[in-house]
Chain A
Amino acid sequence: MTFEEIRERLAAKFGGAGSAGDGRSPQGGALEARIGALAPANKDPFVVVPAADILEICRYLKDDSELAFDCLMNLSTVDWPKKNQIEVVYHFWSYSKRHAFIAKVQLDRAKPEIASVESVWKSADWLEREQFDLMGVVFTGHPDLRRIMMPDDWVGNPLRKDYAEQADWHNITTTRENSLEGYVRLDEFKKKVAEAAAAAAAPAEKKELPS
């Protein structure tokens, strides 16, 4: 199936693209298709779906015999401080039908929460843990949601745009001395030497003139 066909099938099931919306999401409830207006050839088409429906949509994507998305390939999150949003991007892939689909969910940056799809695909387990750790998105209903890359008592989510690293962790410093401090670049050094030589030469001439 092409992307457009998958989108239409989804739209038919979950209150179509043209409908006025059913109040389930702030965008108006409809599955809104946003196919790259800038450079369609470069850009993969995607669909923005309401956060409240994600589990239902994922179940449908997997169970429907025509769609049969048996694999969650990738789960990423993108931080957009300007829009005050965190986007969760789902890359689906079907081994039986050999087609792909991309869905996005937009969450509030202050309190990003979304239902876990671990019950649909097992691969979501680690992928969601990673995003919880690095971006701070809370996946409700995840059986074992704890940090995966960073230590358990780490503060902050490193992939956030406004992340500031803590100064030390259990008395281990997180900053390193700049080993280049005190050194200057060779070309700048040569320039300085030349300037110093010129400065030394110039007053000497001036001194000679009055005498």
Chain B
Amino acid sequence: MKPLEIPTMDMENKEVLRRIEVGGDMLLNMGPQHPSTHGVINFLVQTDGEVMKRAIPEVGYLHRSLEKIGERCTYNGYMPYTDRVDYIAAMFANQGWAMAVERLLGMQVPKRAEYCRIIACELNRISSHLISVGTMAMDVGAVTPFPYALREREFINDLLEELCGARLTYNYLRIGGVAFDLPTGYEEKVSTFLDHFEKILDEFNRLITYNEIFVKRLAHLAPISKEMAIDYCLVGPNLRASGVKFDVRKDLPYSIYPELQFDVPVGKGEVGTQGDSWDRFWCRVEEMRQSCRILRQCLVQIPKDSQVMGKVPRKIKLTEGLEAYSRIESARGDMQYYVVAGPGENAHRVKIRTGSFTAMGIIDALSRGLMIADLVALIASLDVVAPEIDR
């Protein structure tokens, strides 16, 4: 198919084209300010009535050139910026950066710090997935589960606030450890939350996951085959929903994950086709359950000493051209940092590869023949977050 010619704004006449005809089809802008796009993304939708012929994602509205900023600040100074890579799951962006620089330094992180990291990350994974499943239910028309999900997220936000003082952009991890040790009585608070939350998950499943209307709405919707998912480099829950059993935590274990027991939920096509939108939803719900399991083990196994920072030079200086690559399992899948060290105190190049970026690339191919309302469900089920696409 030859690329569609995209009309641009006529800047001379200051006339903004919102709606034009392309050979009998209608070309619509869905976005950039649209409640269901989960951020500022524009979709150029070519439609014939309700049926889409094509939807072309136009991204870049939230491009803050975080990669360029990474070349200008010191290794430690870049840590707060990584929060802004993905503000819904900021802890993972912290962790990816910390791990990449630790690989460059060739250093070990104290055991207790690793446990603190994993506790914070898994709490963050639950809160991120709660947003995802809540908004997805809302996008397809079920408003009730959204406040249920956000209510639980508030508890996690409170827990994380107690840990690091922030509710969204945590800046909790440091190169070589974490900023603060767990506060006193934190283990009990987390386990009280988990007792409560595991019951809520069952309730959530009864309320929405296996709800008949919801299942009928999402089953068989925009299925992604195994081969297609790998070809387009989908990662995380999107990939696992398509039946590929791959989790960086399991297959390329980092940190303390080898010591923890957990399962990797894989989409089975329980109610429809394997890899459809419902499978992606279900995968996230199941991952929350697995995160609870991981958290419980962490709370028992955490060492009782109080060392949470390793020995890091005050000014990190590395040999020019030294490079490292880190892969972690973020809430949105395989997040990768590629860092090349510069001559002074800052990096020569930082490349952040995120799950949402490649997930957006697949929408063009998947959208052909879908209804317009299904595009909303597709975007929500891929769980894309605009700042993570644009960085």
Query: A91 to B390, Cβ gap below 8 A?
Result: no
Query: B3 to A143, Cβ gap below 8 A?
Result: yes
Q: Smallest distance from the beta carbon of B153 to chain A beta carbons, Å?
A: 30
Query: A42 to B324, Cβ gap below 8 A?
Result: yes
By beta carbon, the residue of chain A nearest B245 is: A95
Contact code string B314-329 (vs A, CB < 8 Å = 1, else 0): 0000010111110000
Query: A78 to B349, Cβ gap below 8 A?
Result: yes
Q: Smallest distance from the beta carbon of B355 to chain A beta carbons, Å?
A: 11
Q: Determine the distance from Cα of A148 to Cα of B324 in the docked complex, in whole angstroms.
A: 26
B106 within 8 A of A: yes
Q: Smallest distance from the beta carbon of B101 to chain A beta carbons, Å?
A: 11
Residues A122 and B361 in contact in the complex (CB < 8 Å), given A43-B323, A71-B233: yes
By beta carbon, the residue of chain B nearest A70 is: B230
B169 within 8 A of A: no
Which of A70, A72, A74, A143 has most B Cβ within 10 Å? A74
Residues A122 and B65 in contact in the complex (CB < 8 Å), given A78-B340, A95-B244, A95-B246: no
Q: Determine the distance from Cα of A73 to Cα of B336 in the docked complex, in whole angstroms.
A: 9
Q: Smallest distance from the beta carbon of B97 to chain A beta carbons, Å?
A: 15
Contact code string A19-54 (vs B, CB < 8 Å = 1, else 0): 000000000000000001011011110000000000
Query: A159 to B233, Cβ gap below 8 A?
Result: no
Question: With a CB–CB cut-off of 8 A, which chain A residues contact B334?
Answer: 73
A14 within 8 A of B: no
Main secondary structure, interface of A, reads loop
Q: Determine the distance from Cα of A89 to Cα of B8 in the docked complex, in whole angstroms.
A: 33
A177 within 8 A of B: no
Q: Smallest distance from the beta carbon of A5 to chain B beta carbons, Å?
A: 18
Q: Determine the distance from Cα of A209 to Cα of B351 in the docked complex, in whole angstroms.
A: 69
Contact of B231 among A79, A122, A170 (CB under 8 A): A122
Query: B232 to A41, Cβ gap below 8 A?
Result: no
Query: A123 to B60, Cβ gap below 8 A?
Result: no
Contact code string B90-110 (vs A, CB < 8 Å = 1, else 0): 000000000000011110000
A149 within 8 A of B: yes
Q: Determine the distance from Cα of A148 to Cα of B11 in the docked complex, in whole angstroms.
A: 20
B250-275, CB < 8 A from A = 251
Question: With a CB–CB cut-off of 8 A, which chain A residues contact B324?
Answer: 42-44
Query: B348 to A39, Cβ gap below 8 A?
Result: no
By beta carbon, the residue of chain B nearest A83 is: B321
Query: B63 to A149, Cβ gap below 8 A?
Result: yes
Q: Smallest distance from the beta carbon of B98 to chain A beta carbons, Å?
A: 15
By beta carbon, the residue of chain B nearest A171 is: B11
Query: B231 to A70, Cβ gap below 8 A?
Result: yes
B187 within 8 A of A: no
Question: With a CB–CB cut-off of 8 A, which chain A residues contact B295?
Answer: none
By beta carbon, the residue of chain A nearest B391 is: A149
Question: With a CB–CB cut-off of 8 A, which chain A residues contact B321?
Answer: 38
A206 within 8 A of B: no
Query: A74 to B230, Cβ gap below 8 A?
Result: no
Query: B336 to A123, Cβ gap below 8 A?
Result: no
Q: Smallest distance from the beta carbon of B225 to chain A beta carbons, Å?
A: 12
Which of B60, B246, B365 has most A Cβ within 10 Å? B60
Q: Determine the distance from Cα of A149 to Cα of B62 in the docked complex, in whole angstroms.
A: 9
A166 within 8 A of B: no
Contact of B322 among A42, A71, A79 (CB under 8 A): A42
Q: Determine the distance from Cα of A8 to Cα of B336 in the docked complex, in whole angstroms.
A: 27
Contact of A126 among B68, B230, B231, B357 (CB under 8 A): B357
Q: Determine the distance from Cα of A130 to Cα of B40 in the docked complex, in whole angstroms.
A: 18
Q: Determine the distance from Cα of A98 to Cα of B231 in the docked complex, in whole angstroms.
A: 15
Contact code string A54-72 (vs B, CB < 8 Å = 1, else 0): 0000000000000000111
Query: B67 to A159, Cβ gap below 8 A?
Result: yes
Q: Determine the distance from Cα of A23 to Cα of B362 in the docked complex, in whole angstroms.
A: 39
Query: A38 to B322, Cβ gap below 8 A?
Result: yes
Which of B67, B68, B233, B246 has most A Cβ within 10 Å? B233
Which of B251, B334, B338 has most A Cβ within 10 Å? B338
Question: With a CB–CB cut-off of 8 A, which chain A residues contact B65?
Answer: 158-159
B358 within 8 A of A: yes
Q: A73-B353, A149-B63 are in contact. List 11 more A-B contacts (CB 8 A).
A: A38-B319, A38-B321, A43-B322, A44-B323, A44-B324, A71-B233, A91-B325, A125-B361, A127-B358, A143-B3, A144-B3
Chain A interface residues (CB < 8 Å from chain B): 36, 38-39, 41-44, 70-74, 76, 78-79, 89, 91, 95, 98, 102, 121-123, 125-127, 130, 134, 143-144, 147-152, 158-159, 170
